[in-house]
Amino acid sequence: MFGPVVDYWLLRPLTHSRNAATEEELNARAAVDVSIDIDGELAKIRKLQQRLGGSLPLSDQLSYCDVGCGEGGMALALAVLGARHVTGIDITPRSIVTAVANSKRLQLDTRVEFLCANIHEWEPPNPFDVVLSHEALEHILEPEKFLSRVRRLVKPTGIVILAFGPLFRCPFGDHMDGFFRVPIPWRGVLFSEQAILRLRRERFRPTDRATKYQEITGSLNLMRYSEFLKSASDLGWVFEFLDVNPQLKKLKPVYSLSSALTRVPHVQDYVAGSVYAVLRLRQSEAAK
């Protein structure tokens, strides 16, 4: 807003250091504190199913791939619900350490396999019926490349389920709430990247020396909603289902306004936060 120095001093009083931790401390926690709340993960599946309008198929005859699986909760929940062939992949080693420990603790390691891999390089032995990416796409660098790459993961008759956000340019899309006392709408857009990342180093992640949002552990790709729509269409994907900001449905007038604004060019990128989509390859593309 006013430059890196002024923005830093404006924002600093609004931050805290209660959640500060080094990468070493986070890795140590991942190796020790491995318990997940499987009931909570099952609740996430139910919420996802609701927000997708019932479009998430659940069957022991289907194979699933959870891209950006994190600590494995969603993949393990699918197995609890009956899925026999689930693969979870994530690029962060400590997440996979926790995921594997949870699969063994829950005795689901014969149904769920976890791999530490880069989605842009990983080659699955067989394509999947359902590829799921939950709360991950905004973190995957080169999202257009991801939307192209995922074609190699899914069967021609399969589907890709994407649930992601908040996107960077929406009101709370900078993902920096972990060290701010006060939520500031459009913080990442209004204030200097250098100022926010300086505060992040001082108040939140002292050993993460990132100087760009794309460089932080977990990364933020800064993708716009309009870019997502165009990339998906250009790459041959058809939307079988698409909803934006469904969490606002409890406030019908607000949801209606949000839905209208997400259809307005230029404005849509600053309103679209959470996106829920089911993609299938266009028939001509699936035949290739």
- Domain span including residue 92: 4-286
In the block, residue with structure tokens 């230029």: 266
What are the percentages of helix, strand and coil residues in the chain, rounded to 5? 40, 20, 40
pLDDT at 287 over 60: no
**15-66: per-residue pLDDT in tens?**
999 999 998 888 787 666 667 899 999 999 999 999 999 999 999 999 999 9
Supply the mean pLDDT for the chain: 93
pLDDT at 23: 87
Residue 1: band (very low, low, confident or very high) from pLDDT cuts 50, 70, 90: confident
pLDDT at 90 over 80: yes
Task: List the CATH number of the domain containing 84.
Answer: 3.40.50.150
Average pLDDT over residues 81-100: 93
pLDDT at 251 over 90: yes
pLDDT at 118 over 60: yes
Residue 286: band (very low, low, confident or very high) from pLDDT cuts 50, 70, 90: low
Average pLDDT over residues 105-127: 93
Complete edge-to-edge strand list for the sheet that includes strand 63-67: 112-116, 85-90, 63-67, 128-134, 154-164, 275-281, 237-244
Q: Name which residue leads in pLDDT, 29 or 82.
A: 82
**182-236: per-residue pLDDT in tens?**
999 999 999 999 999 999 999 999 999 999 999 998 899 999 999 999 999 999 9
CA-to-CA distance for 197 and 204, rounded, in angstroms?
10
pLDDT at 171: 94
pLDDT at 27: 79
Among 61, 63, 60, CA closest to 86: 63
Total domains in the fold of the chain: 1
pLDDT at 112 over 80: yes
pLDDT at 284: 66
CA-to-CA distance for 93 and 218, rounded, in angstroms?
11
Token pair recorded at residue 267: 């404005």
